[in-house]
Amino acid sequence: MQSGPDERGHFGVYGGRYVGETLMPALTELDRAYREARDDPAFRETLDRLLRDYVGRPSPLYLAERLTGAAGGARIYLKREDLNHTGAHKINNTLGQALLAQRMGKRRLMAETGAGQHGVATAVAAALFGMECIVYMGEEDIIRQAPNVTRMKLLGAEVVPVASGTKTLKDAMSEALRAWTATVETTFYVIGSVAGPHPYPVMVRDFQRVVGDETRAQVLRAEGRLPDMILACVGGGSNAAGIFYPFLDDPDVRLVGVEAAGLGLQSGRHAASIVAGEVGILHGSKSYVLQDADGQILNAHSVSAGLDYPGVGPEHALWADSGRVAYVGITDDEALAAFHALTRLEGIIPALESAHAVAEAQKRAGALGRDRFLVVNLSGRGDKDVDAVIRGARAEGADGESD
Amino acid sequence: MNRIDETFAALRRAGRKGLVGYLTAGDPDPETSERNIRAALEHGVDVLELGVPYSDPTADGPTIQAASQRALAAGMTTAKSLELVKRLRRDFQTPIVLFGYANPFFRYGYARLCAEAAAAGVDGLLAVDLAFEEADELREHMAGHDLALIPLIAPTTPRERAAAILARAQGFVYYIMVTGVTGARAALAADMAAHVAALRGLTPLPVAVGFGISNGAQARRAAEAADAVVVGSALIQAAGAGRLPELVRALRDALTGTGTGGED
């Protein structure tokens, strides 16, 4: 199960490298450099030290007793990636890629961002390593996630607004690929998810698997056995890939990926690429994609900017086909309810992305017995979403039709 | 021998370098687009690259992105692009290369695309983001149809990789002369001639250069090294300004007398 991808980055029929010829040599070079770094104990040592002393790893595994009580079933543990420096799992990957950039002699980092978490994590890495940083972000997301834009600028990053298409993550990534095509010889493109052309999906998964490796040791300490279920939200899919990967060969551990069902799967306004999409090619790899009959990419919708993306990492497509991971959808409203529930019950304000996984966990825990336990990857904290949630509540109150 | 090979052979005999013109099918709407394409062919485009619009053209600059968006908004599709080729074929024998992105082609189905493209009168396919390594499946379906898979070579392509790509190339070679996306540029890439000369040692196929050529002077300079020049964004802008025939004629005039003629 854990084998793959092949040397050209294929996970079964998925993955690969679908980019213009200009970028192909850079991907080959990156692949070689990454494999060398991965096998170099000194690289691993430096990264581990940063993860411990700078990020604050290991992140705690927390038994959420009040949330468990409210759900009325299995014990719910939260893997607290929200407590990492910068407030999300994204930094596990950006530090790894920045360290690799340094090793390759590149002094300029470039990133796309949706919720801004990956942009902030890249800007932080650039500051730490004394590198230049350019972040592409959709204009719509710049409004939705204003606090993160301010953080990136304070950190010295240049935030480039993207006005094309839906002005969200998809367009930011398209624009980042264009910009990379023009600067490929000097710039290291830090992709923030397990998406994009090979070697990004495997590299980002490897940098994020620390979440699953830690979880494994922590549940064994806390419960003396592996969990009955692990849940994580899936946009591009990096926090899910990170926590799932070390458990793939444990068939008794059920793995659940939670996609954004937006206004509902039937509404056509969602971001559930696996649950409701079809096989296609987007941003460098073959996977499940939201598209029309002509192969045009559809606009995704989610209340959460980080899940608002019409594609998903290729390894998830393989896991979906094999049935190893079950993928489900959670709507905007369900995620918002979970956002408030976790905030009130546990004093933890989750990212709207992570709130999708919490919502599904509440449903599942209720259906499982009290002798069972599950783990939710709480991939990020919700400070960035506070304004948007309050604005949304006001808008709903104002239109007079919400009750 | 298909129309691409015949055209380049004829250009050599005539002692002239070729003009490859790119226009997006359906831009700004299907009727205007067909009129513009017909005008481009009448005024001297030697090879037509017909752009199949795509929602996320990651190798294209603002001009072709906007053209794709206009075409999609006006209801253009891959199927309608093929119907357009069929209509053009009644009046023109100019080689036509279907120029697009991997996903619309994949979604249409490679088998169906190849069969219908060949039947419509398409001579070649070019999928910008379908890397050489990922093209085997499409190549299998092209076999048996008289279709060339046009390869792209970039300034960043190492020599051994170029050799592997060119060993399987057909039609002509498209050399991307700048490290970047499509769009007009003030100056030609300084190392273009050296790169094109290096490709000559790897393939007997004609070499077309593109990305950044927008006027006659640039076309003439590029043609000193290459067998043909590709002009896209500038044609789209000219079409929008109602000056497409003038630009095509200017480019053609600039290329007249650029070949050595009679040599083989």
How does pLDDT run across A368-389, given as a tens digit for each residue? 999 999 999 999 999 989 988 9
Contact between chains at B58 and A25 (C-beta distance less than 8 A): no
The stretch B122-141 carries a mean pLDDT of: 97
CA distance B167 to B163: 6
pLDDT given for residue A2 in this prediction: 53
Contacts of A252 (CB under 8 A, 6+ apart): A226, A228
Between helix A90-103 and helix A24-38 the angle, nearest 10°, is: 100
For every residue of A269-304, DSSP letters joined together read ----HHHH-EEEEETTEEEEE-B-TTSPBPPP--SS
> Would you call A153 a catalytic residue per the annotation?
no
How does pLDDT run across A298-313, given as a tens digit for each residue? 999 999 999 999 999 9
The stretch B132-158 carries a mean pLDDT of: 96
Residues of chain B neighbouring A18 (CB-CB closer than 8 A)? 102, 129-131, 134
Contact between chains at A22 and B78 (C-beta distance less than 8 A): no
CA distance A189 to A177: 8
Q: Is B130 on the interface with A (CB under 8 A)?
A: yes
CB A257 within 8 A of CB A238: no
pTM: 0.95
Q: Model confidence at A400, in pLDDT bands (50, 70, 90)?
A: very low
The stretch A45-67 carries a mean pLDDT of: 98
Residues of chain B neighbouring A31 (CB-CB closer than 8 A)? none
The stretch A65-70 carries a mean pLDDT of: 98
**How far is residue A204 CA from its own chain's centroid?**
10
**Beta strands A285-289; A278-282: pairing state:** antiparallel
% of chain A exceeding 70 in pLDDT:
97
Closest residue of A to B107, CA-based?
Answer: A295
Q: Which residues of B59-74 are buried (b: 16+ CB within 10 A; e: fewer)?
A: bbbebbbbbbbbbbeb
pLDDT given for residue B189 in this prediction: 84
CB A39 within 8 A of CB A105: no
How does pLDDT run across B147-194, given as a tens digit for each residue? 999 999 999 999 999 999 999 999 999 999 999 998 888 888 889 999
Residues of chain B neighbouring A291 (CB-CB closer than 8 A)? 103, 107
Look at residues B152, B231, B258, B234 and name the one whose alpha carbon lies nearest to residue B195.
B152
The shortest C-alpha distance from A299 to chain B (Å) reads: 10
Chain mean pLDDT for chain B: 95
Q: Model confidence at B80, in pLDDT bands (50, 70, 90)?
A: very high
For every residue of A216-245, DSSP letters joined together read HHHHHHHHSS--SEEEEE-SS-HHHHHHHG
Asked if pLDDT for residue A403 goes beyond 50, the answer is no
Asked if pLDDT for residue A402 goes beyond 50, the answer is no
CA distance A264 to B250: 55
Domain B3-10+17-254 has what CATH class?
A: alpha beta
CB A237 within 8 A of CB A314: no
Contact between chains at A284 and B158 (C-beta distance less than 8 A): no
The total of other beta-carbon atoms located within 10 Å of residue B235's CB is 28
- For A:279-308, CB contacts with B below 8 A are 280-284, 286, 289, 291, 293-297
pLDDT given for residue B257 in this prediction: 76
Give me A133's structure tokens: 């940083």
How does pLDDT run across A326-378, given as a tens digit for each residue? 999 999 999 999 999 999 999 999 999 999 999 999 999 999 999 999 999 99
pLDDT given for residue A166 in this prediction: 81
pLDDT given for residue B263 in this prediction: 38
The DSSP 8-state label assigned to residue B177 in this structure reads: -
- For B:49-68, CB contacts with A below 8 A are 54-61, 65
Asked if pLDDT for residue B108 goes beyond 70, the answer is yes
CB A155 within 8 A of CB A147: no
The stretch B6-24 carries a mean pLDDT of: 97
pLDDT given for residue A396 in this prediction: 61
pLDDT given for residue A300 in this prediction: 94
The shortest C-alpha distance from A191 to chain B (Å) reads: 15
List chain B domain ranges.
Answer: 3-10+17-254
The stretch A6-31 carries a mean pLDDT of: 96
How does pLDDT run across A211-243, given as a tens digit for each residue? 999 999 999 999 999 999 999 999 999 999 999
Beta-strand runs (E) in A60-157: 61-63, 75-80, 108-113, 132-138
Closest residue of B to A179, CA-based?
Answer: B180
% of chain B exceeding 90 in pLDDT:
91
- For A:358-377, CB contacts with B below 8 A are none
Contact between chains at A24 and B161 (C-beta distance less than 8 A): yes
Chain mean pLDDT for chain A: 95
CA distance B23 to B29: 12
pLDDT given for residue B188 in this prediction: 84
Assess: ipTM above 0.85: yes
Q: Enumerate the active-site residues of B.
A: 49, 60
pLDDT given for residue B264 in this prediction: 37
CA distance A257 to A323: 11
How does pLDDT run across A106-148, given as a tens digit for each residue? 999 999 999 899 999 999 999 999 999 999 999 999 988 888 9
Contact between chains at A185 and B179 (C-beta distance less than 8 A): yes
The total of other beta-carbon atoms located within 10 Å of residue B100's CB is 29
